[in-house]
Amino acid sequence: MIAAVPSATLLGVTGQPVTVEVHSGVGVPGFQIVGSPDAACRESRDRVRAALLSSGLNWPNRRITVNLAPSGVRKAGAGLDLAIAIALLVADEQLPPETVERYAFVGELGLDGSLRGMPGVAPMVACRSDRIAVVPSDAYEQATAIGAVDVRCASNLVEVVSALAGAPWPDPPPRAVAGDDLPPPDLADVRGQPDARLALELAAAGGHHLLLVGPPGAGKTMLAQRLPGLLPSLDPVAALEATMVYSAAGVPVPGGGVVRQPMFRAPHHSSSMIAIVGGGSTALRPGEASLAHGSITMMSHEDTQLRPLG
């Protein structure tokens, strides 16, 4: 039997729709994944098998082929584990096909059947807005950050299978209240430095770049850290874009699951070009330039102690 289950993978900072197709047929028992999976994705064979057996579900003693469509797009990470497990259960007739028609599944499986979050949940869910997204409970806030997608969550594979069979979906975890995080450093804490304080205020008001020059210990970094506190909250579009970037990079977001306030980024002076602009060999990852979207970036120069801010 053949089953197809919608899912998604991460491509840079955007989600790429993926359809997990599973064929269960006669032949020498085995499990093969095709469709340009990376090493972590290919290893889902062992995670899915252990998760099914640990959850009291049957592992079919048949020839199983998993195709990740479209095959020309490289699939990275373990976010397809849950979709592969559900498609396998449908192909083995342990779940009726009609129970998964409205859903898209994103999540990593543990060997005990638990569901784990992973980087990029928000953009992956966003590209599947036509379906009800099923995600791990610890990724619920990220998944609901975009606001326009219906989301269900579960903490393990048994809860997902039970809900698809007709049981109620588990309640989502308590949502962190926005503002629970520590406030940014306040410029009111600074005593003296009138010229530097005025420069910060002008840069914040006009959106200007700023160059802070002085010997070590003069207060350049201290002042730069207080610049975000002078800026207004991000508008909804910028907040959503910043949240997508942070989710794709696996960087924790503030309470509430959305980056609403400008953040402060201070990459080390020895950071490589890829660390600054993003990239990678096996999977693309956002760099500091992307993480600074709508925020403040401080770059330091080791020899001259010049610290341009912009």
Q: What is the pLDDT of residue 11?
A: 82
pLDDT, average across residues 174-181 = 60
**Tell me: domain 2-164, CATH 3.90.76.10, correct?**
no
| Residue 310: pLDDT band with limits 50, 70, 90 | very low
Mean pLDDT of 75-79: 86
The CATH class of the 187-309 domain is alpha beta
Where in the chain are the domains? 2-164, 187-309
Name the token pair of 153: 């969550």
246 φ, ψ (degrees, to nearest 5): -65, -40
Q: What is the pLDDT of residues 267-302, one digit of tens each?
A: 877 888 888 887 776 667 778 877 887 777 666 554
- pLDDT beyond 90 at 129: no
Average pLDDT over residues 62-87: 91
Amino acid identity, position 32: Q
Average pLDDT over residues 40-49: 91
| Residues in contact with 50: Cβ distance below 8 Å, sequence separation at least 6, in sequence order | 111, 112
For the stretch 95-118, pLDDT in tens is: 999 999 999 999 999 999 999 988
- For residue 51, count other CB atoms closer than 10 A to its CB: 27
**Which pLDDT score is estimated for 240?**
78
Strand partners, 22: 3, 66
Region 31-52 average pLDDT: 91
68 falls in which pLDDT band (50, 70, 90)?
very high
Whether the per-residue pLDDT at 127 is higher than 80: the answer is: yes
Residue 87's nearest CA partner among 114, 118, 60 is 60
Bridge partners of residue 24, in order along the sequence: 64
Q: Which pLDDT belongs to residue 18?
A: 93
Please tell me which residue, 303 or 69, carries the higher pLDDT value: 69
In the beta sheet, which residues pair with residue 30?
Answer: 63
Segment 241-272, tens digit of pLDDT: 788 788 777 777 776 667 878 888 888 778 88
